[in-house]
A and B are shown apart, each in its own frame.
Chain A
Amino acid sequence: MSIDALPTNRETLKLSPRPESAGALSTVITLAWRAMLKIKHIPFQLFDVTVTPIMFTLLFTYMFGGALAGSPEVYIQSLLPGILVQTIVFITVYTGVGLNTDIQKGLFDRFRSLPMWQPSPVLGALAGDLFRYSVASLLIIGLGLVLGFRPAAGALGVFLAFVLVLVFAFAVSWIWIIFGMVVKTPESVMTTSFFFLMPLTFASNIFVEPKTMPGWLQVFVQFNPVSHLTTAARGLMHGTDAGADIVWTLVASAVIVGVAAPIAMRMYYQER
């Protein structure tokens, strides 16, 4: 291609002024479309939300099942809602990783210099993440059913538990959005997140009854929102009473969003 062949069509460069600004909903949908395209182009992105949960479910069911509950079939009834919670809470960190990558690559400069509703890129990314959470959840629940998980409350109960987990994941994502804007590289978002996610998910009632733990740890487990979410998810799936834990989870989610979202948006509006 020769230099003077560029650009071939000068009319293209002269174009009418900008169209009417896009609406907020339209830009969020467009940016969610972008998140879907990324999954299409790099299916490997889904590795963490597919292979890891499958591995965890299989490992814990067969490794701990016999020892903790007498048999894997009995254990999976209480483990599966917990594994669902753990997996989804873990992958919320990708919200921050993705945001940080966009910032480092300069893509956010372009978004922020466009005349559009400024929170769109953040909300569009969150919409894309909800899709990933759904993929992971479907896989875990499907695998659970194959392994002998029998939710007493049926499909509706499972669906409600899934929605509750999504609400909590959406809330936690805001924390990673703040991280994504503060730290320098996507890798450090990952590394720092493990300091929080490991204790939050393992020091909970997901794998074992807190009864056998030392007192101080029981206190932590008791106040750990992940424990409440897990109890709530178990209750919804098996039709047992978990009203208090559902409320606890919803309040915790609202508090996290109420605190983290304004901080995140303020940081986002401001400079980096």
Chain B
Amino acid sequence: MSNAIETERLQKRFGENRALDELNLTIRGGSVYGLLGPNGAGKTTAIRVLTTLLKPSGGKATVLGHDVEREAASVRQKVSLTGQYASVDEDLTGHENLVLVSRLLGMSWGEARERATELLSAFGLSEAARKQVRTFSGGMRRRIDIAASLVTRPEILFLDEPTTGLDPRSRNQVWELVRQIAADGTTVLLTTQYLEEADRLAERMAVIDHGRVIAEGTSHELKSSIGGNALRFQLADPARRDEARELVSRIVGDTVLPNTDPTAISVKVASASVAAEVLSALCNARIQLTDFSLGAPSLDDVFFTLTGRPPELPAAEKEQAT
């Protein structure tokens, strides 16, 4: 079978801004694929081009063998999109929203009502069926949004940052949903800023930055591509982090990796003896550690090495869960 998605030197310009700058992707069917990158990397633009919402400015993209520009209608027949913002009507109830989408997909009123009820129960939203979507919590909105994309089963489901802004519990629910959808044979392409999410869900992933793919592979491949091991340690006193950082970089050079945890430091080390050197230096400076480990680099480390920028903080840490 041909690939689910192929792009060749795909470009999208908005004026001077090159949102996609020769993006090359090859995505096999039947799996979860992650598009990873910071804000503004071109993830959403890529999804909008692949779902026929935007026309490419150059290059070529095919989805399930159909050209997104010339055969847009065929692409729309086979894919579903759940955008970054809940793309449901907030004024309507959960049930009405799903009836709306079912009708627009060609079901009769009766079939549409039946399908809406069925989906609400499958997504644990039966109790909210008669409530307006504006009263839904963030997690419920995301679920009704994904439900609307599964009124009929798409061959490819596009999820644009499906867990942005969700509390950890809702995030877990969405992850579980994505796994089930994929297990039932739908190819899922999801974008995320969270490396943890890609690591947990996606079999393969592409890291994009400035509209280009800068790395591609499985999570394992990406981690081993940057080479070396990562030494991570946890400081007893976060106030001494800068001091510790400086000390460490004097030994290992410019390989201190970012960490989203303010009490932790990660550093790429070439060998175990360098790691030992770092630890003894910290010990001599009387900087106390509560924990340390030596292992393969995390995706955060990969991300930083590739882009030179620290990854985004997970939503739950940025904003309090609602």
Task: Mark A residues whose CB is within 8 Å of B.
Answer: 1, 3-10, 12-22, 26-27, 30-31, 33-34, 37-38, 41-42, 102, 105-107, 109-116, 120, 270-271
Contact = CB atoms under 8 A, between A and B. Distances in A.
B176 interface: yes
A9 B87 contact: no
Given A30-B100, A34-B100, A115 B87 contact: no
B118 A18 contact: no
Contacts of B87: 105-107, 109-110
A18 B85 contact: no
B272 interface: no
Contacts of A22: 103-107
B148 interface: yes
Interface string B69-81: 0000100110111
Given A3-B172, A13-B122, A110 B81 contact: yes
Contacts of A33: 100, 103
B5 to A, nearest CB: 15
B106 A19 contact: yes
12 contacts: A12-B118, A12-B119, A13-B150, A14-B184, A15-B152, A15-B153, A19-B105, A19-B111, A20-B106, A41-B91, A110-B83, A113-B79
A75 B180 CA distance: 70
B101 interface: yes
B184 A10 contact: yes
Contacts of B84: 106
Contact of B88 (A7, A17, A37, A107): A107
Given A15-B153, A271-B55, A111 B169 contact: no
Contacts of B185: 14
Point out which of A3, A6, A34, A110 has the most chain B C-beta atoms below 10 A from its C-beta: A110
Contacts of B124: 1, 5-8
B152 A16 contact: yes
B89 interface: yes
B321 interface: no
A110 B148 contact: yes
B173 interface: yes
Given A8-B124, A14-B184, A271-B54, 14 more contacts: A9-B118, A15-B150, A16-B152, A18-B77, A26-B103, A33-B100, A34-B89, A37-B91, A37-B96, A105-B89, A107-B89, A110-B83, A113-B53, A114-B101
A266 B129 CA distance: 37
Interface of B: 48, 51-55, 73, 76-77, 79-81, 83-93, 96, 100-101, 103-107, 111, 118-119, 121-124, 132, 143, 148, 150, 152-153, 169, 172-173, 176-177, 180-181, 184-185
A7 B152 contact: no
Given A38-B89, A109-B83, A6 B177 contact: yes
B79 A18 contact: no
Nearest to B127: A1
Contacts of A12: 118-119, 121-122
A132 B220 CA distance: 59
Contacts of A8: 121-122, 124
Contacts of A31: 100, 104
Given A15-B152, A271-B55, A115 B105 contact: yes
A111 B89 CA distance: 11
Given A13-B122, A41-B92, A107-B89, A114 B51 contact: no
Contacts of A107: 87-89
Contacts of A102: 89
A5 B3 CA distance: 33
B106 A18 contact: yes
